[in-house]
């Protein structure tokens, strides 16, 4: 069984992601999104390795601390992508990116073989959004590689009348599974899974009560960028989505977010810097 002292450890400490050290609580870290799928919900999917590399390099220059690349859309009702196709989409990009990358790379996948080949190619973290459907083999893989792992509360197909209780419970169970498999506690990051099986109202409630996740004693990642709960409030105008995303990040940081996953790195890096100056007393 998981060591209960691990689950209730003091402080968040640091996580080494590749060659970079992430000191939690010091500032908010920015994760730039690279979608190598043609049906991304945000409409920003890259159609070639060259396009994705240019976007990733631009993100690094605009303030991204880490890049998260995925080859399968996670939008609701998106069709599944074959393992071979997902590998074909992401591995060539990873191999090229790490040749000159100054920042670490995360692989966004729920498939063991994709994760394995991505780590072999140079990715240094796994972001698995499958929630309690996570393949045990992926957990064992990240334990063997001593790689950081993002755990996501994904309620698709589940009933959750008390959303925060459900989110915290599912994340705690995932932490126990990971710790039992040998993943180091300092390598775990938790994500409440905004948009994954939640109603618009539930997404807003998670943002209001985000600080409750601090009970898990792990850094919190939020992925609100351009998501439907913002569209439901403000409409689909691109400027409204940008400003709505900015509002969610500022409030999220105020409520304890440690990392933000975004499409618009330049603008959201500025939001994080200003929020950190206010919330964390970090100027400049």
Cα separation, 118 vs 208, in Å, equals 35
Active site residue 227: yes
Catalytic residue among 227, 266, 273, 282: 227
Report percent pLDDT > 90 for the chain. 85
* pLDDT tens digits for range 120-135: 999 999 999 999 999 9
Catalytic residue among 140, 218, 261, 266: 261
* pLDDT tens digits for range 202-225: 999 999 999 999 999 999 999 999
| DSSP string for residues in 86-113 | HHHHHHHHHHHHHHH-SS-EEEE-S-HH
Residue 3 has pLDDT above 80, yes or no: no
pTM across the whole model: 0.92
Residue 54 has pLDDT above 80, yes or no: yes
- 210 closest CA partner among 242, 163, 243: 163
The alpha-carbon radius of gyration of the chain (Å, integer) is 17
Active site residue 16: no
Question: Which pLDDT score, from 0 to 100, does residue 91 have?
Answer: 98
Pairing of strands 105-108, 29-35: unpaired
> How confident is residue 161, by pLDDT bands cut at 50, 70 and 90?
confident
Residue 2 has pLDDT above 50, yes or no: no
Give me the architecture of the 28-279 domain, per CATH: Alpha-Beta Barrel (3.20)
> How confident is residue 38, by pLDDT bands cut at 50, 70 and 90?
confident
Question: Which pLDDT score, from 0 to 100, does residue 101 have?
Answer: 86
Task: Let me know: does 241 contact 220? Beta carbons within 8 Å.
Answer: no
Question: Which pLDDT score, from 0 to 100, does residue 39 have?
Answer: 57
Domain limits, the chain = 28-279
Question: Which pLDDT score, from 0 to 100, does residue 27 have?
Answer: 96
């Amino acid at each position: 069984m998981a060591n209960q002292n691990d689950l209730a450890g003091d402080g968040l400490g640091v996580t080494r992601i590749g060659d970079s050290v992430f000191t939690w609580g010091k500032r908010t870290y920015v994760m730039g999104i690279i979608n190598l799928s043609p049906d991304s919900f945000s409409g920003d999917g890259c159609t070639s390795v060259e396009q994705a590399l240019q976007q990733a390099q631009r993100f690094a220059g605009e303030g991204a601390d880490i890049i998260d690349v995925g080859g399968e859309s996670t939008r609701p009702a998106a069709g599944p992508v074959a393992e071979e196709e997902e590998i074909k989409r992401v591995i060539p990009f990873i191999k090229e990116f790490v040749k000159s990358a100054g920042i670490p790379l995360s692989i966004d996948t729920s498939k063991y073989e994709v994760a394995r080949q991505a780590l072999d190619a140079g990715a240094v973290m796994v972001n698995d959004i499958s929630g309690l459907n996570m393949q045990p083999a992926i957990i064992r893989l990240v334990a063997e590689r001593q790689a950081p792992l993002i755990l996501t509360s994904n309620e698709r197909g589940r009933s959750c009348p008390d959303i925060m209780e459900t989110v915290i419970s599912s994340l705690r169970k995932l932490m126990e599974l990971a710790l039992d498999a040998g993943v180091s506690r300092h390598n775990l990051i938790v994500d409440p899974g905004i948009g994954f099986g939640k109603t618009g109202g539930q997404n807003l409630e998670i943002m209001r009560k985000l600080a409750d996740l601090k009970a898990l004693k792990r850094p919190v990642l939020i992925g609100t960028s351009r998501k439907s709960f913002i569209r439901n409030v403000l409409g689909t105008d691109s400027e409204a989505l940008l400003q709505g995303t900015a509002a969610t990040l500022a409030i999220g940081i105020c409520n304890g977010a440690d990392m933000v996953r975004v499409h618009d790195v330049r603008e959201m890096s500025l939001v994080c810097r200003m929020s950190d100056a206010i919330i964390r007393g970090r100027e400049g």
